[in-house]
Structure 1
Amino acid sequence: MINQFRSLSPFNLLLLAAYTIFMRLAIFIHLPDPLSFEFLEPYAKLLIQIPITDSFSPAINIVLAMVITFVQALLFNRIINNHGLLAKPSYLPALLYVTGSSLFLQFLILSPPLICNFLLIWIMDKFLKIGKTTNAMMTMFDIGMIIALGTLIYFPFIVLLLMLWLSLLLYRSFNWREWIAGIIGFLTIFFFIAVFYYWNDKISQFYQIWKPLINKFPSALQINYNDYLVLIPIGVIIILATLQLRENFFRSFISTRKAFQMLFFMFVIAIISFYTKPDFRVYHFLLCVPPGAVLLAYYFSNAKKRWFYESLFAVLVCSIQYFLFV
């Protein structure tokens, strides 16, 4: 499987589509109860009216989520190949994106983080470009607006504002205009929302939007560790990828080194952002899939011993299927 996806053969598109369906067999065989899907946060619904999706049957919900994941995988694959983050262009990023998006049952249904991954992939592309531009002000402004749009869909997306400055530290020399451009872009969207709230005499509710930002980071979490045993193969691959990246670090292009550092920070921020959502669900961690899939793809792109990396990927897929069915 891995060796097949190391090429850009058009046949791999059919294989990827079949693989995406295969990774969702468990939820198709055992359809869940009727599912509700909130496309926007409550504070955005006053401004934008979206049809209620409770009318979707579980099957339609799952099929839509599958199609969205497949499209995202192709977009993600194109961006990673365009920026040359792997040894050579391939369909490995798409393969690992679909794999990462199938880890848990909650990843397989429509959810706000799944929609936000379109924006996250777009942001990744823009961050990877800022080191190649002479003036990054407009790019940072655009990223700020994209983060604001993501925040309307799923509030924890706001924590990605930290990436504005972390990326500038990695890629650019200090320019105060670039440092504030992203925040101005973010505030532009919320300025119009504030005006709308004011016109409707609900400005006090607008202030309530920001309260989750002062939530205390939880000191203890109730976790059923049996639900997360599927992460063991992922952890092994990440360790191997990190060792491989460390070995090749100073032989890589400077832009590639900075890209992986940026993706590492994005991965960490996506994880810790859950604290802004007291009732967060497992599907929150779909936000970790794009940056995480790059590291997984990096390992399989550079691994030498075919019997080992093919076996490791087979163990990963079998583990996911086992825990999805069980």
Structure 2
Amino acid sequence: MITSIFNKSKPINFVIVFFIMLLAFSVANVKPFLESVSVSFFFEKTAWFVVCYFTILLFNFIVVKNSLTKNNHYQILLFGLFFLMLPQCSLDGSVLMANIFVMFGLRRLLSLRTQIKIKKKLFDTAIWFAVATLFYFWAILFFILIFATLLLYTDNRVKNWVVPFAGLATVLVISISASVVIYNNFFEIINLSTTTSYNYSNYNTMPYLIAITMLFSFGVWASIFYVKLVQKKKKTYRPSFKIIFIYVIIAFVTAILSPQKNGSEFLFLFAPLAIIMGNYIESIKEKWFKELFVSVLLVVPFLLLML
């Protein structure tokens, strides 16, 4: 029943995911809203919800454009359910913005598959990742993805390896210039926090433990099959799927290094995990097991709301 709804690309799927996202966002923001009821606060939160939903639309565009899943909408359902599992992800605006810019960079990076305008795409990717770093320092780790991609395409041209540094330098120069003009200070805009935290005491609650356990266990299980599935993909698309796997590893490291363990650090994991698990769901041949797998992912987030 559930799988039949999202098994095909239908407009109604976006409506369903919209309400899932709205529920997740409302659960996370109802308490702050009640503590500071005002028109400006309402419009501010509405704007952040638009950002959250735009993230899903951008994610779906990237997946469809690069054929990262078949013609279905499992990926957006999973992305929305991950939000519902950890609704705290919508509370940190810096992480939300950083995640969007990382995904813009991913979009350009995956387009290298065509091997057209390589330098421009590498430059664009570096700029997007650098802007993401301005919002959230540890997003700088995604620069590793650029060089990993060059290795996957066995690109030995020195110029292409230098281009990402040019993109990073461009954002740095523009940021310093803007900081001088606006604040009369060289590094006011680039006020980055390089701190890390390994204090996981915030996770010591039942909703956190269940949500993180599900993400980790289901993610690892799906990843095992994903690695096997990659070898069956067309040779031209294979690097794109490998990039997603490297992406999820970097996102996991980013979550570990996060200076604040408040749930928002898991946001970077949602996109690659949704793709990996979406591919796994597609590969399940037993209909009853596919329904069970998706049902658990669907029901548990709603149950967590009652804890």
- Judge conservation of contact 1:104–1:324 (CA < 8 Å) in 2: no
- Judge conservation of contact 1:264–1:291 (CA < 8 Å) in 2: yes
Aligned to 1:156: 138
Aligned to 1:56: 41
- Judge conservation of contact 2:225–2:280 (CA < 8 Å) in 1: yes
Q: CA deviation at 1:261?
A: 2.0
1:189-268 pair list within 5 angstroms: 189-197=171-179, 202-203=185-186, 205=187, 209=191, 212=194, 221-222=200-201, 223-224=203-204, 226=206, 227-268=208-249
**Residues 294 and 144 (structure 1 numbering): CA distance in 2 closer, same or farther, change over 3 Å?**
same
Give the count of matched residue pairs.
Answer: 301
Instruction: Return the letter of the residue paired with 2:120.
Output: M
- Judge conservation of contact 1:72–1:118 (CA < 8 Å) in 2: yes
Distance 1:24 1:192 in 2: 34
> Which of 71, 80, 84 is the equivalent residue of 2:54?
71
Q: CA deviation at 1:66?
A: 3.6
Does the residue aligned with 1:89 lie in a helix, a strand or coil? coil
Q: CA deviation at 1:287?
A: 1.4
Instruction: Return the letter of the residue paired with 1:288.
Output: L
- Judge conservation of contact 1:145–1:186 (CA < 8 Å) in 2: yes
Q: CA deviation at 1:197?
A: 4.6
Unaligned runs of 5+ in 2: none
Distance 1:155 1:178 in 2: 24
Q: CA deviation at 1:138?
A: 1.0
Q: What do you get for the CA RMSD once the two structures are aligned?
A: 3.1
> Which of 179, 185, 191 is the equivalent residue of 2:161?
179
Divergent runs of 4+, >6 A:
none
TM-score by length of 1: 0.79
- Judge conservation of contact 1:62–1:108 (CA < 8 Å) in 2: no
Aligned to 1:123: 105
Aligned to 2:275: 294
- Judge conservation of contact 2:7–2:72 (CA < 8 Å) in 1: yes
- Judge conservation of contact 1:155–1:276 (CA < 8 Å) in 2: no
**Residues 208 and 22 (structure 1 numbering): CA distance in 2 closer, same or farther, change over 3 Å?**
closer
Is the aligned partner of 1:12 residue 2:3? no
- Judge conservation of contact 2:230–2:241 (CA < 8 Å) in 1: no
Unaligned runs of 5+ in 1: 37-52
Identity score, percent = 18
Does the residue aligned with 2:31 lie in a helix, a strand or coil? coil
Aligned to 1:45: none
Instruction: Return the letter of the residue paired with 1:269.
Output: I
Aligned to 2:119: 137
Is the aligned partner of 1:3 residue 2:10? no
Instruction: Return the letter of the residue paired with 2:212.
Output: L
**Residues 309 and 73 (structure 1 numbering): CA distance in 2 closer, same or farther, change over 3 Å?**
same
**Residues 2 and 109 (structure 1 numbering): CA distance in 2 closer, same or farther, change over 3 Å?**
farther
Distance 2:5 2:291 in 1: 10
**Residues 275 and 231 (structure 1 numbering): CA distance in 2 closer, same or farther, change over 3 Å?**
closer
| Structure with greater proportional helix content | 2
Does the residue aligned with 1:32 lie in a helix, a strand or coil? helix
Distance 1:172 1:268 in 2: 21
Aligned to 2:63: 80
- Judge conservation of contact 1:77–1:92 (CA < 8 Å) in 2: no
- Judge conservation of contact 2:134–2:190 (CA < 8 Å) in 1: no
Is the aligned partner of 1:306 residue 2:307? no
**Residues 107 and 54 (structure 1 numbering): CA distance in 2 closer, same or farther, change over 3 Å?**
farther
Aligned to 1:188: 170
Distance 1:127 1:119 in 2: 12
Distance 1:201 1:121 in 2: 32
- Judge conservation of contact 1:69–1:101 (CA < 8 Å) in 2: no
Does the residue aligned with 1:193 lie in a helix, a strand or coil? helix
- Judge conservation of contact 1:303–1:309 (CA < 8 Å) in 2: yes
